[in-house]
Structure formats: C-alpha cells, structure tokens
Amino acid sequence: MPRRHFDRALLALGALVLVSTVVRFALSRDVLAPLIAPDEQLYGLLGRSLVAGDGLTLLGEPVPYYSILYPLLVGLPFVWADLEDGVRAVQLLQALVMSVTAVPVYLWARGSAAKRWALGAAVLTVLIPGLAYSGLLMSEALYYPVAVIAVWALATCLLEPTLARQALFLLALGVALATRLQAVGFVAVLVVAVALLAVSERSTAPFRRLLPTFGVLGLAGVIWVGARVAAGGVGELLGAYATLGAADEYSIGDIAQSIAWEAGAVTLITVGVPLVTLGILAWQMVRGAERDPRVRALVATALAYAVVTVVEVGAFASRFVEHVTERQLLSVAPPVFVAFAVWLERGAPRPQPATSIVAFLVAASALLLPLDRVTTLAAYADAPSMIPLEQLTRHVGQTTFETLYAGALAAVLLAAVLLPRRAVPALAVVVALALGAATVVASKEVREGSQTERERTFAGAPADWIDASGGNEVALLLTGQRLWPAAWETLFWNESITKVIRLRGVESPGVVPQEVATVHEDGRLLNRSGGEVTAPDVAAPTGVTIVGDELVTTPPSFEQPGMTLWRVEPPLRLSRRIVGLRPNGDLHGGEVARIRVFACGSGRLELTLLGKEGLPTRVLLDGRVLAERAVPPEGVWRPSVPAPPSADGSGICRYRLETDGLIGSTRIEFVRDG
C-alpha cells in the first residue's frame, strides 16, 4: 500500500509538470518574443553565436560576460530551426524547464511534510505569474530552477554537511553563477544561513562543519579576482555588470527605500500567507524551540535566501529601476512554499504574540508599497504580479483600488492568524487561486504587449524583411528617428546585418558593437579617425535618402517611421535627411521639420503637402521664407523651392518646413538638375 501511494504521488507530480508545461507553452504561443530590449535580443543573438562556434560574440565582437548556460539553452533550438521556429522551440523548452522546478520543491518538502502538502508546494511553484517569462528569452527561465536547486543543496549541507553534500552545493552554486551573476549573493546566503543555524543550536559548530565550503569559496574568490584583474583591471570583476561597482552612485536612503519595496514585492509574489508561516517557523527556530534538524535547515536557508536576495536586488534597483524588479525575486518563492507545506503539516501552529507580529510586518511591507509608482505600465516587463493590480487600478480608479488592496491584504493575513485550525488548509486554496488568476491576467497582457511592440517596430511588415529582400552584409543606420529598442528587434530577426552605424549624438542602443559616424557636407559618413564608413547595403529610416538604389521600404508604425533598404552606390553617401515629421508624415503647429540636402547643387526641393486646418505653412531656406500658403482643409499644395545660386555641390542646403496648424506630407524630395 505505501508503495502504491508513493507511485501515485510521483504520477501526480509528473502530471503537474506536464500540464504546467503544456499550459505555459499554450499561453506563449501568441507571445511574439523577443519583447524586452535589449535583454531578450542579446541573449538570443549570443545563443546563436555560441552554438555556431563563434563564442559569446555579437556582430563578430566579444561582449562582456552575462551568462554562459542561458545563451546555450536559447541557442540550441537554432541549430536545427529557423528564427521563427527556433523562438517557438525555446518557448516550449523554457516552459518545461520552469515547470520542472516543481520536482525539487516536492522532494525538498517531502523531507518534512506529507505528500499532499509537498504536492501543494509544487503546485504553487508553477502557478506564480513570473512563469510568464517562459515565453520570453530571459534568463529567469533557467535561473528559476537552478537557484531553487542551489538553495535546496545548501539546506542539505546544513542538515548533514558531508564532503559529498558540500561538493554538490558548490557544483550547484557554480551552475547558478554560469546562469546569472546574481548568484554571487549565495556567498552571503551561506553565511547568513549558517549564522541562523548557529543561533538555533546555540553553538558555532555549523561554521566549523562547513569549513571546507568556506575554504573552497575563499580560494575560488581569490582566483576569480586575480584572473579578472589580470584580464582587464578591477573594472572587469563584474563583467557586463561592472557599472554596479560605482559605490559613489548609491544612496543609503534610496537603497533602504528600494529594499522595502522589494520586500513588499515578495509578499505579493507569495500572496503573503506562506511568508507569514516562514516567519512563524523562523521564530520557533531562533528561540531554540525547533527540534527537527530538517526544519531548522529549511528555515535557515529559506529565510537567509529571502533576506539576502531582497537586499541584493534592492541595492541594484535603487540605481537602475524606479519600480520593483520581481523577475529577480522569483526564486525566493519556492523555498517559502516549502516552509508553508511544513507549517500545514504541523497543523498550522500560531504561537502568540509571534504570529501577530510576523503578520503585521508582512502586511506593512505590502502596504508601504507606493502603488501609484509600482503598478504602472513601465513595471510590466519587470513585475508580472503588478499587471493585475495596474489593470484593476484602471478599472476602478486609484482610491477605490487602494481600499480594495488594503482590505484584501488584511482579510488574507487575518485569516492566517485567526482562522480555525480545521479551516486553515483553505488558505492554500486561496493562495493558489490568487496566483492562478494573476497568472492568467499577466500572461494575456504579456501576449498583447508583445504584439503591440511588434506592430510598433515593423508595422505589419515581416520581421525578417531585410533578409527576405536579399540584403547582403547590411549596415543598420541609426539616426535617432526610431526608438532604440527597434535596432535590437531588427538586428535579431535579420541575420544579414553585419554592422551597426550610429550617427554622432544619437542615443546608443547599448552593448552592440557600433561604428560612430558624422555626416560630411558632401554626404559621406566618416568615422572617428576621419575614414570613410563603407557598406554594400544599408537599412535606414525613411527620413534618410542614400545615394544608390532603393530595394524595399517598410511602412511607418503609429510611433516611428518606416525603413528603407538601399543598395549603395560607393562610396556610402547620404543624399537627404529629414528630421521632425511625425511617423505618418504630419507636422503639427509649433513643430519644425528640418530638411538637409547634402552635396547640394543646382536643383529644387519639391513637396506635396496636404491641408488639414487651413492655417499658414512656410518653406524656408537658411532662415528665409521662400514659399508660404494657407493650405485649405483637404487641399493640396505642391511648392517647388530652388536651391540657392551659391550651391555648387559641395555643401549643405538647409530647408525648414513650418506650420501654424496641422498639415500632412506625402512627398519631400530634392530633384537635382541634370
């Protein structure tokens, strides 16, 4: 009989992983990844480069270290699949990888809880909204199970610190570091967890038992620092995250505030109740009343990991993020769910006043969140759990939402404190339903957000439009007319792009290798050393005309202009550049469109302008009005403005288009004589 029950539990666990994988992949089917720039595109490009045998390179150039295992995971499907199918394969693989986290959670919980509660912890593990990252190319998809396994491995070390178990923990830590540099925090987790255990046992024996681990980590740290300093100086210690080391950029007040916010985010991720139960168990352990060594190891590890991660992420976010960064906190939840299972197994003990104090602290962390700042559209990419809250705010208004939020939080936490013991298991159902509902809402929004972003970038054109048009060694020209994430989107989907050229003064898209250029008066692009920038084909915003043949043009979107692929007539030269028009060609009152004609000689600027408000519109050259008309609504004006007599083909003609109202434009072209 026990054997049959054990098999049924494993069967249920397997079914949970399978169902979670299928559901998560189904929710990802219409997610048009990559979405979050530049993270997703960078991981995808590095993965393709890695599996192609070129190492961690981008456009042939090495990039700072971010991760090795995650790019490998992302890159594997591209060995046999094209870009679109490869992304779908990655989404399926990641749905499985994140869902498999339920297995170590179940096995960990089974050490101190019955099968049903262990399965309950596993279910909560796959219900959190953060599993929406399985549909995106984000390292959270791999770090989630890897970090949970590392925490579990640490707990087993605290329980029985044999050399074999310490070696397994060090191996798990190494895998976590190879997945994400956030894992450096595990060193602090180790110290805090051992200290908590030492307090519980009223002895320093836990430190002595783990001396081999401390020794290996110390030696590894010295070797790492030495290698990085030798490779590139102190600035190379954190690889791609070297900017985090600028201590003068941090503020104690900002860090404290950010840590408080992240603590509140953990409450929301876990729906509060499991966090309260961890606090209750921790109270019992610290006061020396916990007799089960397994539970002591669990609580010490889970609490240490939660505290250190909140501090680590809070310090990071204080400089770089104006809301909570839930995606870096996801792996905190499963160990808390394991503690929740143990608490339920014990019949939900609620010693007073400890239970009330813990519940008050958990409630305070969530109530102190500035909801108007963390429940915003800007938080969607970093905090899936905030998406349902933001949508609720829009539906009921800020004041009503805050009342509902405080009331729901109070009801759930009061139930954890006051609910009759026989009804306490219902709390697990409440947590599961809350997480499941939030997951559905968050997944829907991620899907719709990805579709909006695709439309913003490509406006219905194929994402691989450059490759499909026969581009060859294409240079992507960044002029500032398009949003910087569009550069990463275009680069990801078009393998024929081999170079990025950015005009001086234009916002950089980040770590992608780029050649900074200035435009000479004759239209040539010159690099920093004064040499000519070359490329056989160039993809540029439609506001730029390049000397050569126009191969294909994509339409503008609602937020940025379209793009044109040019076959260059050497040397690479700009013929004309327009700045200031809306993506659809409109010009609003008070705005100015600037038209620069390079190598300007004999010729004329020809325009087709559409009247919309009937107010005066002017065409100026070097500050002088050469043509003016109040174009009537639905009327058409086709001015032709000649180049100045002094134009000899070596300089720039600077035209301006101004209006007092609103006009449209369908053609702005400089027609050269001869």
The tens digit of pLDDT for each residue in 193-247 reads 999 999 998 888 889 999 999 999 989 888 877 776 666 555 555 555 555 555 4
Residues 6+ apart with CB under 8 A from 291: none
> What is residue 228's predicted lDDT score, i.e. its pLDDT?
66
> What is residue 463's predicted lDDT score, i.e. its pLDDT?
95
What is d(CA 409, CA 663) in angstroms, rounded to the nearest whole number?
A: 53
Instruction: Please provide the size of the chain in residues.
Output: 674
Angle at 273 between CA 270 and CA 278, to 5 degrees: 90
Domains of the chain: 100-255+265-450 (no CATH), 459-574 (3.50.50), 580-674 (2.60.120.260)
What is d(CA 134, CA 142) in angstroms, rounded to the nearest whole number?
A: 9
What is d(CA 466, CA 497) in angstroms, rounded to the nearest whole number?
A: 8
Distances from the Cα of 494 to the Cα of 56, 136, 499, 548, angstroms:
18, 19, 12, 21
Closest by CA position to 579, among listed 542, 526, 629, 527? 542
Phi and psi at 161, nearest 5°, equal -80, 55
3-state secondary structure of 593: strand
> What is residue 6's predicted lDDT score, i.e. its pLDDT?
53
Distances from the Cα of 430 to the Cα of 66, 377, 415, 416, angstroms:
38, 27, 10, 11
Under 8 Å between Cβ of 504 and 527: no
Residues 6+ apart with CB under 8 A from 26: none
Under 8 Å between Cβ of 277 and 343: yes
Q: Extract long-range pairs of 350-353: CB within 8 Å, 24+ residues apart.
A: 350/280, 350/416, 350/417, 351/280, 351/283, 351/284
Residues 6+ apart with CB under 8 A from 502: 478, 508, 509, 514, 515, 516, 517
Distance between alpha carbon 574 and the CA centroid of its chain, in Å? Answer: 35
515: enclosing H helix or E strand: strand 515-519
> What is residue 251's predicted lDDT score, i.e. its pLDDT?
77
> What is residue 1's predicted lDDT score, i.e. its pLDDT?
42
Q: Which stretches in the chain have pLDDT values below 50? A: 1-2, 5, 247
Under 8 Å between Cβ of 339 and 292: no
- Model-level pTM? 0.91
